[in-house]
Structure 1
Amino acid sequence: MKTMIYMVRHGDSPKTEGNERTRGLTDKGRSDANRITELLRNEEIDTFVSSPYTRAVLTIEELAQSLGKEVLVVEDLKEMMFSSEDKIISYKVLYPSLENMFSDPDFSLPGGESSRICQKRSIGILKEILKKYRGQKVVIGTHGIVMTLMMGYFDSQYDLDFLLHTSKPDIYRMEFNEEDLIGTERMWN
């Protein structure tokens, strides 16, 4: 029985307000969330699951509401923890560290988590989703690194280069037979 997973990377988010957990969407991010609603409205989505971070929830919330569904928030779908305080990490600090994060699965920023730990927690949730919602269509509101690590678990082409060429937002429809990835299609343009 086939299960469809729609990885929806969050829309544009300001790096100047709140912390990693609470920052929302920019005007562009909100506009793109409307486009996501239009793009996925007819996909007959059964279930919506999201990272607890505001920007991820807001990116899929309108679509869920338009279909009379709720967004189920799952803590372990949160973005990679870059520090112990959920503080916003600037791109100047993050981007030079990405190569280390992807080449050494045990590398982490001080107080943060490694890609190995992040992948383990997020894949655990994805496998639960594949089991619990078998045969359904599930949207996952997610983040760039977490999305890449989950997709990379099933197919090594989803690596740092892939991450650096994704957009905010982005959408990938993944087709599974049980836990076997059959195919992936990018839906955002």
Structure 2
Amino acid sequence: MSAGMTQLILVRHGRTEFNAENRLQGQLDVPLSAEGVAQADRVAPVISWLRPQAIVCSPLSRAHQTAAAIGRACGVEPVDDARLKEIDVGEWSGLRAEDLFRDDPRYEAGMVSDSDFRRPGGETGTEVMDRIAGAIDAIATEHEGERVVVVSHGFALRTGMCRLLGGDYTASRAWGGLSNCSWSLMDRFGDAEMARRGLDRRWRLRAYNCTVPAKPQGPAGGEGEGQAPIVGV
């Protein structure tokens, strides 16, 4: 990594039972499922190959558990940061998306519109993307010149990355969703490095929604041989 540049490895937490049931988690403290724990254990050694110097995570247990698995592989203790929590969906917390589509016209109206809206009793998308982008930028500034893992949530990371690149809520809707335990890479350039490279933007996206799939089943139902490939989507 060149001088004057900080690299962020942005990781979404592993799968939860709420993910499997298509329930809105928001800021509910839902732990990883058994599958989510396995996902975290698979991604941890891959992240460790990048040799991060720090790990910062949302304090919600699904993110902290994922960060802890990465931390064990890297020999780095994760630090919680409440600014990295998922969007607060208020009254919709814990409800299934299909039930909301059927029973609450506010949900369908919000989901099909490019305009931002406030989740009842919760946050707007713009509030979240500003919160997350500000937190990521502050973390990068604190760890200038280092490689840092940030473990957070799908909506939060997707919109936060979009904001760092100059996009708004409408632009963020064109970004694909982040898979559980996926990672994305962003570079942050210092002032001198920006001037040296002739850049007018501080942030650069290098990879998005990369995953480590489970090993495929062999012909007889056993695990396939060899290391599972790394897939960038």
Interval of TM-score (by shorter of Structure 1 and Structure 2): 0.7 to 0.9
Q: Does residue 181 of the first structure (1) align with residue 203 of the second (2)?
A: yes
- How far apart in 1 are the matches of 2:161 and 2:180? 17
Q: Which moved more, 1:24-33 or 1:64-73?
A: 64-73
Q: Give the AA of the match of 1:9.
A: R
SS state of the match for residue 8, structure 2? strand
| Structure 1 segment 149-188 matched on structure 2, within 5 A | 149-155=159-165, 156=167, 159-164=172-177, 166-178=178-190, 180-186=202-208, 187-188=210-211
Q: Which of 112, 115, 123 in structure 2 is aligned with 1:104?
A: 115
Deviation at 1:147, TM superposition (A): 0.5
Kindly indicate whether structure 1 or structure 2 has the higher relative contact order, using CA contacts under 8 Å at least 6 residues apart.
1
SS state of the match for residue 30, structure 2? coil
Contact 1:176/1:183 (8 A) holds in 2:
no
Whichever of the two has the greater Rg, that structure is 2
Contact 2:133/2:161 (8 A) holds in 1:
no
SS state of the match for residue 43, structure 1? coil
Q: Which of 76, 85, 90 in structure 1 is aligned with 2:96?
A: 90
Q: Does residue 60 of the first structure (1) align with residue 67 of the second (2)?
A: yes
- How far apart in 2 are the matches of 1:167 and 1:76? 21
% identity of equivalent residues: 20
| Structure 1 segment 96-135 matched on structure 2, within 5 A | 96=108, 97-100=110-113, 103-105=114-116, 107-135=117-145
TM-score between both structures, scaled by the size of structure 1: 0.85
The aligned residue for residue 7 of structure 2 is 4
Q: Give the AA of the match of 2:185.
A: R
Which ranges of structure 2 fall in alignment gaps of 5 or more residues?
Answer: 102-106, 191-200, 212-230
The aligned residue for residue 43 of structure 1 is 50
RMSD over aligned CA atoms reads 2.4
Q: Alignment length, in residue pairs? A: 183
Residues 161 and 89 from structure 1, CA distance in 2 versus in 1: closer, same or farther, beyond 3 angstroms?
Answer: farther
The aligned residue for residue 153 of structure 2 is 143
Which ranges of structure 1 fall in alignment gaps of 5 or more residues?
Answer: none
- How far apart in 1 are the matches of 2:80 and 2:143? 15
Contact 1:83/1:113 (8 A) holds in 2:
yes
Contact 1:50/1:141 (8 A) holds in 2:
yes
SS state of the match for residue 159, structure 2? helix
Q: Give the AA of the match of 1:71.
A: P
- How far apart in 2 are the matches of 1:110 and 1:31? 34
Deviation at 1:99, TM superposition (A): 4.0
Q: Give the AA of the match of 1:104.
A: S
Contact 2:55/2:150 (8 A) holds in 1:
yes
TM-score between both structures, scaled by the size of structure 2: 0.70
